[in-house]
């Protein structure tokens, strides 16, 4: 009998058809060995990692191929042995768009015997070295932001509540669910390691209510461990209950201040996938080299969850899952609400790609014809941030930055709830996304303009001061020369005087 507390009552949000049955029918598939890996150097918010290998070099399984000193960046390790074919810039998925990043192209040794990546990163006994071990293993937040976990855990602020996010509220995605079903022990190892580092008062593992197998598996493991600080929180099945700020509100009852981080109200949120990676590090000394990805949608023949080496291309992944079906028209990285549609499958999967949807037209929105806004306010009812999308629409279309600031567009999490309930079928989130990007650029330009004005004024003053000083120097010099010439004249006359006196003295002696 699992004992857990059910948490309901989040602000806004909507019920969506989960569509997870497609991919949860089979256990996680682990025999994907791609022919090629495109390993990106930028899979984190900070500067790109620097490659530590050269073209032509043979790398072994789990070897570090990218390294960075920045605390906002992480090390990169290869999941497979092989030969480095090239180091070049490629387009890679990053958040909600594509960026160009230096990548290591690897020809994989598919035939070679599998050398284990274990025992390469032993978990230190000494507490103070553990953060560095996490850093060296390249562990980042696998929930989407890829924030280096060591940096997140390196906090002086007291952590009251440690939250593990296994909510997975977006339709189609089921990788965390399967991970919890099959790897509850490794996850709990990671959980305990983090409890050790942060020493929170409470630890909650959030799982959606409609995932009984995951809840069961995790609860069994918790009971076995006997750690009373860890509790499961069964959360409401509303989207986006799994959003970090929404989850904090739901579980702790407090709101994360706008523009700040949960740690400021004593909460730390981690994805269960991150806990799993940490668990692997602790128990098997493995760096992070692969992750579970949900491959789903009616456009792929065998939808399932797959353990994917990081850097595998989408094309190889889909091939491994039986290839595309005839009607596949859209390729989405992520879930169906916040996922990003791409046009080519030659992109590599990164540490944060949690789902690939190959969809047919009947699964997704195909018509984008919009009617005028009738101000019904249904969008405001479902907004988890309590914004007013109907008021934000007009300034977003016109890029009226002042209005957007007063209506707080910067707090929009782009969850997409407003789009789904709009009777006029306006693609609100797209307008907000565009306006937000323009706002970013505008703020940057404003800052540059302010600084430029200041620096220009300073330069003008500097030049003026310089001119004044030069002027003064010239005048002083002239005065000095004039003075000198006077005293020169006196000295000459005094010398002539002396000479004359001398001569007269000499004359008188005679």
Partner 1 sequence: MLIGTVFLAGLVILLTALLVIGNRFLPPESEPIVDQLEQLLPRIQCGQCGYAGCRAYAEAIASDSVPINRCPPGGTETIRELANIMGLPTKKLREDLGQASLDQVARIDENLCIGCNLCARVCPVDAIAGVPQMMHTVIAIHCTGCELCLPPCPVDCIELASRND
Partner 2 sequence: MTFTRRPAPHVTPTPNLQLVMRRVLYALIPGTTVYIWFFGWGLLINIAIAVATALAAETVILRIRGLPINPSITDLSAVVTAILLAFALPPLVPWWLPAFGAGLAIILAKHLYGGLGSNLFNPAMVGYVILLISFPIEMTQWIPPAGSETSNYQLGLRGHLIYTVTGNLTPELNIDSLTQATPLDQVKEGLAEMRALGEIQSSTLFGTYGGHGWEWVNVCIALGGLYLLYRGVIRWHIPVSLIASLISCAIIFNAIDPGRYTSPSFHLFNGATMLGAFFIATDPVTAATTNRGRLIYGAGIGTLTFAIRTWGGYPEGLAFAVLLMNAAVPLLDRYTQPRIYGHN
If the CB atoms of residues 216 and 255 are measured against partner 2, the closer one turns out to be 255
Side-by-side strand order, sheet with 76-77? 50-51, 64-67, 76-77
DSSP symbols for 420-444: HH-TT---HHHHHHHHHHHHHHHHH
Which residues, listed in sequence order, are joined to residue 77 by a DSSP beta bridge?
64
Q: Which is nearer to partner 1, 224 or 450 (CB)?
A: 450
339 binds partner 2 (CB under 8 A): yes
Secondary structure, 3-state, 117-139: CCCCCCCCCCHHHHHHHHHHCCC
User: Which residue lies nearer to partner 2 by CB, 141 or 389?
Assistant: 389
Whether 401 contacts 442, CB under 8 Å: yes
Give the one residue of 399, 406, 423, 496 binding partner 1; rule: CB under 8 A.
399
Select from 85, 123, 424, 442 the one that contacts partner 2 (CB under 8 A).
424
**Per CB under 8 A, which region of 1-9, 192-200, 211-219, 412-420 contacts partner 2?**
412-420
Residue 416, contacted partner among partner 2, partner 1, none, CB below 5-8 A by kind: partner 2
CA distances to 34, 252, 392, 438, 441 from 434, rounded to whole Å, are: 36, 33, 12, 6, 11
From residue 436 to residue 475, the character string flagging contacts with partner 1 as x (rule: CB under 8 A) and all else as - is: -----xx-xx--xxxxxx-xx-xx--x-------------
Contacting range for partner 2; rule: CB under 8 A; set: 33-41, 277-285, 428-436, 469-477: 428-436
Task: Decide if residue 238 touches partner 2 (CB under 8 A).
Answer: no
Indicate the SS3 state at residue 390. Answer: helix
User: Is 398 among the residues that bind partner 2 (CB under 8 A)?
Assistant: no
Q: Is 360 in the site for partner 2 (CB under 8 A)?
A: no
Q: C-alpha angle with apex 27: 23 to 29, nearest 5 degrees?
A: 90
Q: Which is nearer to partner 2, 73 or 165 (CB)?
A: 165
Q: How far is CA 111 from CA 60, 78, 132, 289, 306, in A?
A: 13, 17, 34, 19, 20
Candidate segments 179-187, 189-197, 199-207, 357-365, binder of partner 2 by CB under 8 A: 357-365
Q: Which does 339 bind (CB under 5 to 8 A by kind): partner 1, partner 2, none?
A: partner 2
**d(C-alpha 130, C-alpha 198), whole Å:** 12
344 scored as a contact of partner 1 (CB under 8 A)? no
Q: Let me know: does 332 contact 360? Beta carbons within 8 Å.
A: no
Q: Work out whether 244 is an interface residue with partner 2 (CB under 8 A).
A: no
Asked if 201 touches partner 1 (CB under 8 A), the answer is: no
70 or 360: whose CB is closer to partner 1? 70
Query: What is the chain's alpha carbon radius of gyration, rounded to the nearest angstrom?
Result: 33
Sheet holding 97-108, edge to edge: 36-40, 97-108, 82-94, 58-59
Contact 54, 332 (CB under 8 A): no
| Cβ-based nearer residue to partner 1, 381 or 400 | 400
Q: Which neighbouring-strand residues pair with 64?
A: 77
- Tokens at residue 93, please? 């998925």
Quick one: CA torsion of 386, 260, 101, 335, rounded to 10 degrees?
A: -30
Establish if 494 lies at the interface with partner 2 (CB under 8 A).
no
Residue 317 as a binder of partner 2 (CB under 8 A): the answer is no
Please report whether residue 329 would count as binding partner 2 according to CB under 8 A: yes
Contacts to partner 2 from residues 251-270, by CB under 8 A = 255-260
Q: Is 344 near partner 2 (CB under 8 A)? A: yes
Residues 6+ apart with CB under 8 A from 154: 71, 131
Take residue 266 and report the two structure tokens written for it.
């004593």
How many residues touch partner 1 (CB under 8 A)?
16
Which residue ranges make up the site for partner 2 (CB under 8 A)? 11, 16, 96, 171, 245, 249, 255-260, 315, 324, 328-332, 334, 336-345, 357, 359, 364-366, 368-369, 371-378, 380-381, 384-388, 390-391, 408, 411, 414, 416, 419-425, 427, 429-430, 433
Which residue ranges make up the site for partner 1 (CB under 8 A)? 399, 441-442, 444-445, 448-453, 455-456, 458-459, 462
């Amino acid at each position: 009998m699992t004992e857990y507390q059910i948490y309901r009552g989040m602000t806004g949000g909507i019920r969506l058809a989960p569509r997870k049955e497609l991919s949860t029918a089979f256990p996680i598939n682990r025999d994907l060995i791609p022919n090629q890996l495109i390993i990106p150097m930028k899979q984190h918010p900070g500067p790109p990692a620097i490659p530590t290998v050269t073209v032509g070099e043979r790398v072994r399984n789990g070897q570090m191929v990218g390294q960075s000193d920045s605390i906002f960046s992480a090390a990169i390790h290869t999941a497979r042995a092989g030969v480095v074919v090239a180091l070049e810039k490629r387009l890679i998925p990053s958040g909600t768009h594509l960026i160009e990043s230096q990548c290591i192209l690897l020809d994989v040794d598919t035939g070679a015997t599998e050398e284990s990546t274990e025992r390469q990163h032993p978990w230190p006994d000494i507490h103070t070295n553990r953060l560095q071990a996490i850093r060296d293993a390249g562990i980042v937040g696998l929930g989407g932001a890829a924030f280096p976990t060591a940096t997140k855990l390196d906090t002086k602020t007291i952590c009251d509540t440690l939250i593990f996010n296994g909510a997975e509220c977006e339709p189609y995605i089921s990788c965390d669910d399967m991970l919890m079903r099959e790897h509850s022990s490794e996850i709990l190892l990671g959980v305990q390691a983090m409890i050790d580092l942060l020493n929170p008062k409470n630890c909650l593992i959030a799982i959606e209510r409609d995932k009984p197998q995951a809840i069961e598996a995790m609860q069994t493991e918790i009971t076995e461990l006997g750690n009373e600080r860890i509790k499961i929180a069964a959360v409401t099945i509303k989207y986006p209950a799994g959003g970090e700020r929404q989850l904090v509100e739901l579980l702790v009852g407090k709101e994360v201040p706008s523009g700040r981080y949960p740690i400021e109200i004593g909460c730390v949120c981690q994805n269960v996938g991150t806990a799993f990676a940490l668990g692997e590090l602790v128990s098997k000394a493995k760096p992070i080299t692969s992750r579970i990805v949900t491959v789903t949608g009616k456009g792929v023949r065998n939808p399932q969850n797959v353990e994917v080496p990081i850097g595998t291309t989408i094309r190889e992944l889909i091939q491994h899952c039986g290839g595309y079906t005839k009607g596949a028209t859209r390729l989405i990285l992520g879930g169906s609400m916040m996922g990003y549609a791409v046009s080519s499958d030659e992109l590599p999967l990164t540490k944060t790609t949690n789902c690939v949807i190959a969809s047919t037209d009947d699964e997704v929105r195909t018509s984008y014809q919009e009617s005028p806004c009738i101000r019904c306010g249904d969008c405001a009812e479902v907004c988890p941030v309590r914004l007013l999308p109907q008021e934000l629409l007009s300034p977003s279309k016109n890029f009226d930055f002042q209005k957007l600031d007063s209506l707080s567009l910067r707090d929009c999490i782009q969850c997409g709830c407003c789009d789904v309930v709009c009777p006029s079928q306006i693609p609100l989130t797209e307008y907000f996304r565009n306006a937000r990007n323009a706002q970013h650029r505008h703020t940057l330009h404003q800052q540059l303009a302010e600084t430029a004005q200041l620096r220009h004024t300073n330069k003008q003053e500097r030049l003026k001061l310089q001119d004044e000083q030069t002027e003064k120097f010239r005048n002083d010099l002239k005065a000095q020369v004039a003075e000198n010439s006077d005293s020169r004249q006196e000295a000459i006359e005094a010398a002539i005087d002396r000479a004359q006196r001398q001569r007269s003295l000499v004359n008188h002696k005679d």
